[in-house]
């Protein structure tokens, strides 16, 4: 409509009055509120068609989703209670706080079905409010990126400094770093678990400094969780990076690593774990999860069921409307 | 006035008292308005309305008030020409006026004070302040205060500009100059420096600076003509008089020692009481001796007066009560719903705090060690609690924080959106070509911006008559002379005629107004006195030219220097029209002095002595003039209403002519013309002598003069010979009958309030189709409280009977006019005096609500307002006042919506109005089309805004329940701020401005559709609660689908927050899209554009590394479940609403819905069929 650069002058001249005429027409239509418009009206035919369409789209999506979700294989093992020695069953908190008690524990997992690599290893925490207001606020993104060069760590309270020296990384989140560890024995050999590239690349590259090293970390009177190797920069501390992506809901998983070989059905995997992390004081649960993945993400039947439900309700509604229309036409 | 003290406080009563006990005081405003049927006229009746010819000199002596003392406490003492002494005891108000609201210093506090009248603003202020406390800082400091301060600033700038304009006009007004007597010399002085007691000289065409008592004028008889257009809207000239005793004084030369004792300032513009002590004599002053601020001196070279009321104490200022700012009905309702919303808010906050309390209690021993709480600050030396203030305070803080987080439950953006939408709506109203008056080249004006939607709910229209329904242009239409109807002039257009003219001093003199001329009659009138017929025509026009109180004024024609135009000035527009008619037929009134008149008859100048004049009065309903003709005969010419004229016409003479005239009169009045019958007779010398002596005696008598004059008049106005009848058209404005018809079909009751006399009002009622012959008229003319009560009771009984006979309830009388025999109530101002502000009001209202038409005649400006208040106080229905003159100002201000006609009569009405337009008929598109659209749009918008914010808050709320009740938001701070600013605001504004449920054509074709607004179909509490339930469901879907889909997964808070943000935005925009009726491309752009803009914003926010949610959207969008969640949310959330909507449309469709479908499928379905369908539906949906 605006004419290309190749168009001759004559056409351009001619096109101007047309354009201004159109513009005028538009303005007057606009002022008189008579712009051309589409006025959809819900006729019974439309209503029934829409509902049928919804049904026919939603039910297949639901089935596909459900199938995908079912295709995800998961081995979930709750170990927090079982890993407490008999004598401490009555007082789990004293067990976890007692540094002299060995925390190692062995779990045996059975693979029910063939699991194709990559197989993800997660730890799952329940009843752990990583979205608690006090908790999520207690961090300093500037410090994570710039380290000691960034001084204002007041947002990290109450874990911003110790003995007058700043803590890197500061804040409750870093302080409460999850520190259970797992080793997997498959048959006789140790399963190779890849613990690289488990955090988001964007976080590693842009959010956590490549030249920021842990400092004065976990030196306080109250140890919250894992310690960090002061010689590895934050950008490479993937466990920390994963941990610091605070979860949205109080029941969450965080990735621990990847098994990069297939597991056959009926394989037995022995897990040696260090049960260091204190969830006993607030009744949290710890689980170890070994899961494959699909295009959908993890295993969750909810979406599939929801789709099938919505789709079938739409179909039923369309039938109801059809009946109404036949019995009681306007 | 002592006896009236108890009720004096009410200004409207004041008028009423004056017009009742001394009704003559109000009669100065229009002679035409004196035509009611008061049976008792007090002896002072003619007192302050002096008969100018023949009875002058006796004028106000007969005034009953002269005997009355004004007690010293109630009086204001004015020492003429001694302002120091006058202002000694009390400092009377100076003459400077101030209409501006603010001064520079007071602007900020006062404007803020006024703005914070909006409760919502206070609420947001408190929230913003709370957020500043470190314990409660949920959002950033500046961020939280920004929206409120933005709103405040915009409004303040607007207010400041308006006030600056008011100040400017005040300044101009205060600095105008006038001549004031200082040290025995008239000097120019600024208006604002005038003080009470000063003597002021006004020249012709100057505006009076204050209220002043006339002392002398350029006229030897002490007459001054003033135009009161700014005061009461009447453009004709009024006469005011200086006292005989002061006439001769020249204040420059001699000291005047006069003390005026007058009443305290009041707002009655038709009444004034004062005494004047002069040289030991006491004179009484009435309303004819005072000229008021705002009037213009006309036709009088100069006038000298003494200022008695200045500045804000002048009557015009007291009458201009400041316009109260109006709040639209919808907004008032909305405020109620906002209170409900705040209860929601409080309950949400309470739930959160109780839960938080329980949680804290249960974990009180673990708080130190729970990693995500860590109450104690171990790194501190003294191991203080970190950010923990004890259980009770923590709960309290949780409550306050939740108020801060959930604050947008109360939609602050709604106020801004509403203002913007109203601006847009106003733009379209202004641009509407249907409401553009080509004749006066005036577009529609929107002066008040906050009551657009009220236009959609009007139930009562109060209309002025003159200038509103009519063009205020009296036109002589036709005449019946000697039994012959001359109405042939109808065919020829006015422009073709040259018109009659005479030569004066080498100049052509021609009447200002041209009149339609019947050629046959013109021929006859020129043929001289040869035939009997021609003689009668001659006498007829002589009567028209002479029997009046018109003052002819010749002035130069601006366009043609050789032409002088003759302007006839007079109090009655009918007389003007008749005089112009006579001039057109060659009987041109050229000159009038107190003793004689000069009439140019067919080019021949003749001088007639005016021997006596009996003014029009409401009892006789006629006036007569006794002329001494050049041929030494004495003739009486009488003109008057047919009812009284035929009783004084000698029926023995010319019976067939009388019959023919009566037939013609009937014809004329059925056409809605105003008729007058004209008769004459010759007086014999003896008769004249007899009349003359009794007339002299009567007009100089001090007591009972009015009655005596009336008696004298009756002796001479008898056994008249009929000459004929005239018919004048008070031209209706174009399209008025159709407009009234439309309004009535729309269920709007039209009341006409006019200062005119009853007959005129009724005839206009007929011609405007307000009254029809099918209607039963109830007429109430009473002159005491008792008789008012009685006539009201009678009328109520009668109307009940009528209504039971017709067997229909009165409620739908307006809707289906055909079935009911409608009742019309006609009531006059005198009766209203007793009814308004008394217990009878209730009865009047009951009666009026049974009537489909109410006509109030002879009502004073404040009575008009009183009638509006009568309705406004008793119903919740919306009222609209429409008028054009300054006398309509009070009613325009009192009504919910005031409409000014920008006509000829000044700008006062327009200045006071909320909307101004050129013609009455524009009311139809204004109400039926724009009112309908505005209301429907605004209703939808408010509901949608409630929903939009509530759904967001609820999503936040559900999340809070899963965060240990600690008010974490997954949705990031910026998104929650932008939510109501960028993500969702534009579509609602665009839809609020552009959406139309029905086309203009349909709305005008079916005025019944307006009933939808009366039933509040677009906004009512049922809709509100339905919306809220829907909101709850949608929020549950939005929150819980992702919650369940991602429970126990690796999802992080910012990612799921992005999902919720997008879901909410898409959902609310689709929700709006579902309600959009007309999809123009602008709507498409706004709605889909908002969704796209949201995506862009979310992406941009997630690309900032320092924010917690860095890269979250890209991460979550990689997974299929994200998209599946979005789709599922949208469909599952909207499905119930969609189903309910479909079911509702299927089972109980609204009129609008049916008409919309008819509009769309009009080709397939007959419109008529729809109409039949529509009426029965009106009833059931009324509940």
Partner-chain contact A203 B1052, CB within 8 Å: no
| B465-483: average pLDDT | 81
Instruction: Give the number of beta-carbon pairs within 8 Å between A and B.
Output: 237
Q: What is the per-residue pLDDT for B1086?
A: 93
* B residues 896-915 closer than 8 Å to A (CB): none
Q: What is the per-residue pLDDT for A4?
A: 34
| B174-201: average pLDDT | 85
Q: Is the pLDDT of residue B812 over 50?
A: no
Q: What is the dihedral sign for C-alpha B302, B306, B312, B316?
A: negative
Query: Any chain B CB within 8 A of the CB of A326?
Result: no
B363: nearest CA in chain A? A282
Query: Any chain A CB within 8 A of the CB of B431?
Result: yes
Q: Which residue has the higher pLDDT, B595 or B353?
A: B353
* B residues 960-999 closer than 8 Å to A (CB): 962-964, 966-968, 970, 994, 996
Q: What is the per-residue pLDDT for B956?
A: 93
Tell me the pLDDT tens digit for each residue of B496-531. Answer: 445 566 666 666 777 777 777 777 888 877 777 778
Q: Is the pLDDT of residue B7 over 70?
A: no
| B262-285: average pLDDT | 76
Partner-chain contact B968 A133, CB within 8 Å: yes
Contact, A170 vs A143, CB < 8 A?
A: yes
Q: What is the per-residue pLDDT for A17?
A: 46
Helix locations, B902-999, DSSP H: 908-912, 923-924, 932-960, 973-978, 985-994
Contact, B760 vs B32, CB < 8 A?
A: yes
Partner-chain contact A253 B431, CB within 8 Å: no
Partner-chain contact A42 B1142, CB within 8 Å: yes
What pLDDT band is residue B952 in, cutting at 50, 70 and 90? very high
What pLDDT band is residue A316 in, cutting at 50, 70 and 90? very high
Find which of B362, B365, B371, B1146 to mutate to test the A interface (most A CBs within 10 Å of its CB): B371
| B810-833: average pLDDT | 64
Q: Is the pLDDT of residue B61 over 50?
A: no
Contact, B25 vs B48, CB < 8 A?
A: yes
* A residues 101-140 closer than 8 Å to B (CB): 122, 124, 126, 128-136, 139
Q: What is the per-residue pLDDT for B846?
A: 85
DSSP B979: I
Tell me the pLDDT tens digit for each residue of B556-608. Answer: 766 777 777 788 877 677 888 888 888 888 888 888 776 788 888 887 888 88
Q: Is the pLDDT of residue B644 over 50?
A: yes
Q: What is the per-residue pLDDT for B817?
A: 40
Helix locations, B884-931, DSSP H: 889-894, 908-912, 923-924
* Among A38, A47, A245, beta carbon nearest to B1079: A38
Q: What is the per-residue pLDDT for A59?
A: 96
Number of H helices, E strands in chain B: 40, 35
Partner-chain contact A37 B1043, CB within 8 Å: no
Tell me the pLDDT tens digit for each residue of B1167-1183. Answer: 444 443 444 333 333 33
Query: Any chain A CB within 8 A of the CB of B1047?
Result: yes
Q: What is the per-residue pLDDT for B1094?
A: 94
Query: Any chain B CB within 8 A of the CB of A141?
Result: yes
Partner-chain contact B1128 A310, CB within 8 Å: yes
Q: What is the per-residue pLDDT for B904?
A: 61
Q: Is the pLDDT of residue B441 over 80?
A: no
- Measure the CA–CA gap between B419 and B451, rounded to whole angstroms: 10
Q: What is the per-residue pLDDT for B356?
A: 92
- Measure the CA–CA gap between B611 and B545, rounded to whole angstroms: 16
Give B720's contacts (C-beta < 8 A, 6+ positions apart): B636, B638, B645, B648, B649, B650, B679, B680, B681
Q: Is the pLDDT of residue B1018 over 50?
A: yes
| B1004-1021: average pLDDT | 85
A302: nearest CA in chain B? B1045
Hey, is B237 helix, strand or coil?
A: strand
ipTM of the assembly?
0.92
A208-222, B279-293, B726-740: which has the minimum mean pLDDT? B279-293
User: Residue B294, by phi and psi: left (phi above 0), alpha (psi -120 to 50) or beta?
Assistant: left
Partner-chain contact A297 B1119, CB within 8 Å: yes
Q: What is the per-residue pLDDT for A81?
A: 86
Give B575's contacts (C-beta < 8 A, 6+ positions apart): B548, B549, B550, B568
| CB-count exposure of residue B419 (10 Å: 0-12, 13-18, 19+) | middle
Query: Any chain A CB within 8 A of the CB of B371?
Result: yes
| B122-148: average pLDDT | 77
Q: Is the pLDDT of residue B304 over 70?
A: yes
* Among A54, A142, A295, beta carbon nearest to B1120: A295
* Among A132, A157, A200, beta carbon nearest to B373: A132
Query: Any chain A CB within 8 A of the CB of B134?
Result: no
Cα A167 from chain centroid?
A: 28
What pLDDT band is residue B618 in, cutting at 50, 70 and 90? low
Query: Any chain A CB within 8 A of the CB of B1123?
Result: no
Q: Is the pLDDT of residue B939 over 80?
A: yes
Helix locations, B547-678, DSSP H: 573-584, 642-648, 655-670
Q: Whole-number mean pLDDT of chain A?
A: 85
Contact, A136 vs B1053, CB < 8 A?
A: yes
Rounded to a whole number of angstroms, the distance between the first and last alpha carbons of chain A is 46
- Measure the CA–CA gap between B661 and B659, rounded to whole angstroms: 5
Q: Is the pLDDT of residue B838 over 50?
A: yes
| B1018-1031: average pLDDT | 91
Find which of A25, A32, A33 to mutate to test the B interface (most B CBs within 10 Å of its CB): A33
Partner-chain contact A122 B1050, CB within 8 Å: yes
Q: Is the pLDDT of residue B1143 over 60?
A: yes
| B66-83: average pLDDT | 67
Q: What is the per-residue pLDDT for B382?
A: 62
DSSP B618: T
Partner-chain contact B994 A33, CB within 8 Å: yes
Task: Say which residue the tokens 């013309």 belong to.
Answer: B673
Q: What is the per-residue pLDDT for B701?
A: 65
Residues of B in contact with A37 (CB under 8 A): 1078-1080, 1083
Rg of chain B on CA atoms, in Å? 37
Give B291's contacts (C-beta < 8 A, 6+ positions apart): B208, B211, B212, B214, B224, B226, B240, B297, B303, B305
Q: Is the pLDDT of residue B80 over 90?
A: no
| B1026-1049: average pLDDT | 94
Partner-chain contact A200 B1139, CB within 8 Å: no
Task: Say which residue the tokens 């509530």 belong to.
Answer: B950
What pLDDT band is residue B1040 in, cutting at 50, 70 and 90? very high
| B874-893: average pLDDT | 83
Give A216's contacts (C-beta < 8 A, 6+ positions apart): A161, A162, A163, A165, A166, A167, A168
Tell me the pLDDT tens digit for each residue of A36-92. Answer: 888 888 888 889 999 999 999 999 999 999 999 999 999 999 998 888 888 888 888
Residues of B with a known catalytic role: 464
Q: Is the pLDDT of residue B1041 over 80?
A: yes
Query: Any chain B CB within 8 A of the CB of A293?
Result: no
| B292-313: average pLDDT | 83
What pLDDT band is residue B907 in, cutting at 50, 70 and 90? low
- Measure the CA–CA gap between B500 and B541, rounded to whole angstroms: 14
Q: Whole-number mean pLDDT of chain B?
A: 78
| B316-328: average pLDDT | 65
Query: Any chain B CB within 8 A of the CB of A307?
Result: yes
Q: What is the percentage of chain B residues whose pLDDT exceeds 70? A: 84
Hey, is A68 helix, strand or coil?
A: helix
Partner-chain contact B374 A134, CB within 8 Å: yes
Q: What is the per-residue pLDDT for B204?
A: 83
Contact, B512 vs B564, CB < 8 A?
A: no
Tell me the pLDDT tens digit for each residue of A164-207. Answer: 888 888 888 998 999 899 999 988 888 889 998 899 988 888 88
What pLDDT band is residue B219 in, cutting at 50, 70 and 90? confident
DSSP string, B191-229: GGG--TT-EEEEETTPBPSSEEEEEEESSTT-EEEEE-H
């Amino acid at each position: 409509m605006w004419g290309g650069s190749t168009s001759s002058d004559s056409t351009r001249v001619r096109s101007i009055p047309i354009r201004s005429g159109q513009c005028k027409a538009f303005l007057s239509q606009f002022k008189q509120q008579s712009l051309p418009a589409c006025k959809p009206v819900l006729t019974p035919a439309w209503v029934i068609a829409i509902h049928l369409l919804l049904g026919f789209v939603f039910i297949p999506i639901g089935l596909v989703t459900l199938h995908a979700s079912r295709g995800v294989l998961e081995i979930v093992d709750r170990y927090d209670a079982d890993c407490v020695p008999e004598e401490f069953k009555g007082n789990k908190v004293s067990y976890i706080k007692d540094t002299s008690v060995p925390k190692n524990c062995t779990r045996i997992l059975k693979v029910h079905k063939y699991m194709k690599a990559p197989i993800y290893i997660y730890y799952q925490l329940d009843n752990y409010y990583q979205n608690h207001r006090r908790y999520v606020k207690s961090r300093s993104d500037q410090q994570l990126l710039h380290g000691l060069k960034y001084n204002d760590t007041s947002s990290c309270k109450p874990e911003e400094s110790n003995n007058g020296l700043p803590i890197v990384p500061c804040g409750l989140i870093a302080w409460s770093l999850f520190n259970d560890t797992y080793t997997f024995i498959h048959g006789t050999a140790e399963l190779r678990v890849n613990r690289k590239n488990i955090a988001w690349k964007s976080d590693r590259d842009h959010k956590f400094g490549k030249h920021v090293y842990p400092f004065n970390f976990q030196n306080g009177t109250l140890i919250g969780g894992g310690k960090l190797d002061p010689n590895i920069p934050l950008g490479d501390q993937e466990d920390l990076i994963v941990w610091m992506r605070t979860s949205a809901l109080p029941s969450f998983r965080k990735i621990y690593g990847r098994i990069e070989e297939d597991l056959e059905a009926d394989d037995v995997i022995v897990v040696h774990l260090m049960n260091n992390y204190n969830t006993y004081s607030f009744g949290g649960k710890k689980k170890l999860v070994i899961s494959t993945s699909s295009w959908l993400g993890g295993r969750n039947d909810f979406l599939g069921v929801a789709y099938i439900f919505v789709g079938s309700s739409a179909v039923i509604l369309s039938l109801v409307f059809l009946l109404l229309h036949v019995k009681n036409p306007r | 006035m002592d006896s009236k003290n108890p009720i004096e406080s009410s200004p409207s009563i004041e008028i009423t008292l004056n017009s009742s006990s001394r009704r003559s005081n109000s009669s100065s405003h229009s002679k035409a308005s004196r035509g009611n049927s008061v049976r008792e006229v007090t002896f002072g009746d003619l007192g302050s309305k002096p008969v100018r010819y023949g009875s002058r000199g006796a004028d106000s002596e007969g005034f009953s008030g002269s005997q009355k003392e004004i007690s010293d406490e109630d009086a204001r003492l004015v020492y003429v020409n001694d302002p120091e002494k006058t202002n000694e005891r009390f400092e009377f108000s100076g003459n400077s006026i101030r209409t501006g609201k603010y001064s520079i210093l007071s602007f900020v506090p006062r404007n803020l004070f006024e703005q914070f009248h909006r409760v919502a603003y206070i609420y947001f202020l408190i929230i913003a302040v709370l957020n500043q406390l470190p314990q409660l800082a949920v959002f950033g400091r500046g961020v939280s205060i920004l929206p409120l301060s933005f709103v405040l600033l915009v409004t303040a700038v607007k207010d400041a500009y308006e006030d600056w304009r008011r100040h400017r006009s005040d300044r101009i007004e205060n600095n105008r100059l006038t001549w004031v007597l200082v040290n025995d010399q008239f000097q120019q002085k600024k208006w604002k420096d005038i003080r009470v007691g000063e003597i002021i000289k006004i020249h012709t065409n100057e505006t009076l600076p204050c209220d002043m008592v006339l002392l002398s004028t350029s006229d030897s008889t002490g007459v001054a003509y003033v135009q009161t257009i700014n005061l009461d809207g009447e453009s004709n000239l009024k006469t005011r008089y200086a006292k005989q005793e002061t006439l001769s004084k020249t204040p420059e030369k001699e000291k005047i020692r006069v003390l005026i004792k007058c009443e305290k300032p009041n707002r009655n513009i038709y009444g004034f009481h004062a005494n004047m002590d002069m040289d030991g004599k006491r004179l009484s002053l009435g309303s004819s001796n005072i000229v008021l601020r705002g009037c213009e001196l006309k036709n009088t070279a100069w006038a000298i007066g003494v200022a008695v009321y200045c500045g804000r104490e002048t009557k015009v200022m007291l009458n201009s009560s400041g316009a109260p700012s109006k709040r639209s009905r919808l907004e008032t309702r909305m405020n109620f719903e906002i209170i409900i919303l705040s209860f929601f808010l409080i309950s949400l906050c309470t739930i959160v705090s109780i839960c938080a309390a329980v949680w804290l209690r249960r974990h009180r021993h673990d708080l130190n060690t729970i990693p995500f709480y860590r109450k104690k600050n171990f790194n501190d030396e003294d191991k203080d609690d970190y950010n923990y203030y004890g259980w009770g305070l923590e709960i309290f803080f949780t409550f306050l924080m939740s108020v801060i987080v959930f604050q947008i439950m109360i939609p602050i953006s709604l106020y801004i959106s509403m203002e913007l939408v109203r601006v847009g709506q106003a733009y379209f109203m202004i641009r509407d070509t249907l409401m553009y008056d080509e004749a006066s080249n005036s577009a529609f004006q929107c002066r008040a911006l906050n009551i657009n939607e009220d236009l959609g709910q009007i139930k009562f229209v109060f209309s002025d008559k003159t200038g509103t329904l009519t063009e205020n242009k009296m036109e002589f239409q036709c005449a019946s002379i000697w039994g012959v109807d001359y109405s042939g002039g109808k065919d020829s257009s006015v422009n073709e005629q040259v018109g009659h003219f005479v030569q004066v001093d080498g100049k052509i003199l021609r009447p200002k107004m041209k009149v339609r001329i019947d050629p046959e009659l013109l021929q006859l009138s020129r043929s001289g006195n040869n035939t009997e017929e021609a003689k009668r025509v001659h006498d007829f026009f002589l009567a028209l030219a002479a029997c009046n109180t018109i003052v002819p004024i010749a002035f130069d024609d601006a366009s043609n220097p050789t032409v002088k135009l003759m302007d006839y000035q007079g109090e009655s527009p009918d007389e003007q029209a008749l005089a112009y008619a006579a001039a057109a037929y060659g009987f041109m009134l050229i000159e009038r002095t107190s003793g004689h008149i000069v009439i140019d008859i067919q080019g021949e100048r003749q001088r007639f002595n005016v021997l006596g004049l009996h003014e029009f009065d409401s009892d006789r309903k006629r006036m007569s003039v006794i002329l001494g003709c050049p041929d030494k005969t004495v003739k009486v010419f009488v003109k008057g209403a047919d009812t009284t004229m035929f009783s004084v016409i000698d029926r023995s003479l010319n019976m067939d002519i009388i019959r023919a005239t009566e037939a013609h009169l009937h014809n004329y009045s059925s056409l809605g013309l105003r008729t007058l019958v004209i008769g004459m007779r010759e007086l014999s010398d003896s008769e004249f002598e007899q009349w003359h002596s009794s007339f002299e005696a009567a007009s100089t008598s001090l007591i009972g003069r009015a009655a005596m004059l009336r008696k004298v008049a009756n002796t001479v106005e008898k056994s008249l010979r009929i000459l004929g009848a005239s018919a004048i058209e008070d031209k209706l404005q174009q399209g008025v009958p159709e407009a009234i018809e439309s309004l009535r079909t729309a269920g709007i009751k039209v009341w006409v309030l006019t200062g005119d006399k009853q007959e005129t009002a009724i005839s206009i009622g007929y011609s405007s189709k307000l009254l029809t012959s099918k209607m039963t008229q109830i007429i109430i003319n009473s002159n005491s409280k008792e008789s008012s009560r009685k006539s009201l009771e009678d009328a109520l009984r009668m109307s009940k009977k009528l209504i039971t006979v017709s067997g229909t309830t009165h409620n739908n009388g307006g809707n289906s006019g055909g079935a009911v025999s409608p009742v019309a109530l006609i009531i006059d101002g005198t009766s209203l005096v007793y009814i308004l502000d008394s217990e009878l009001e209730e009865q009047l209202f009951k009666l009026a609500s049974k009537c489909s038409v109410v006509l109030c005649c002879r009502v004073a400006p404040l009575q008009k307002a009183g009638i509006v208040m009568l309705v406004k106080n008793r119903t919740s229905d919306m009222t609209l006042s429409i008028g054009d003159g300054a006398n309509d100002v009070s009613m325009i201000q009192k009504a919910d919506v005031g409409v000014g006609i920008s006509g000829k009569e000044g700008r006062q009405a327009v200045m006071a109005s909320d909307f101004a337009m050129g013609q009455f008929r524009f009311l139809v598109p204004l109400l039926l089309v724009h009112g309908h659209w505005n209301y429907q749009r605004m209703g939808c918008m408010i509901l949608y805004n409630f929903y939009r914010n509530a759904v967001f808050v609820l999503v936040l709320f559900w999340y809070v329940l899963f965060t240990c009740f600690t008010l974490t938001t997954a949705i990031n701070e910026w998104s929650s701020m932008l939510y109501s600013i960028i993500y969702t605001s534009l579509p609602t504004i665009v839809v609020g401005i552009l959406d139309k449920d029905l086309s203009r054509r349909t709305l005008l074709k079916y005025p019944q559709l307006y009933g939808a607004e009366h039933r509040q179909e677009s906004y009512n509490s049922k809709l509100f609660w339905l919306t809220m339930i829907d909101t709850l469901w949608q929020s549950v879907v939005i929150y819980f689908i992702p919650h369940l889909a991602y429970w126990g997964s690796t999802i992080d808070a910012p990612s799921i927050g992005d999902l919720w943000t997008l879901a909410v935005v898409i959902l609310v925009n689709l929700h709006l899209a579902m309600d959009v009726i007309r999809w123009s491309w602008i709507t498409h752009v706004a709605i889909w554009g908002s969704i796209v803009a949201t995506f862009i914003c979310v992406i941009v926010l997630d690309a900032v590394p320092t924010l917690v949610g860095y890269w979250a959207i890209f991460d979550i969008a990689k997974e299929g479940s994200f998209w599946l969640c979005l789709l599922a949310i949208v469909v599952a959330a909207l499905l119930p609403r969609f189903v309910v909507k479909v079911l509702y449309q299927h089972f109980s469709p609204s009129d609008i819905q049916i008409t919309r479908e008819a509009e769309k499928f009009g080709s397939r379905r007959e419109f008529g069929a729809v109409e039949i369908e529509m009426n029965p539906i009106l009833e059931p949906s009324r509940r």
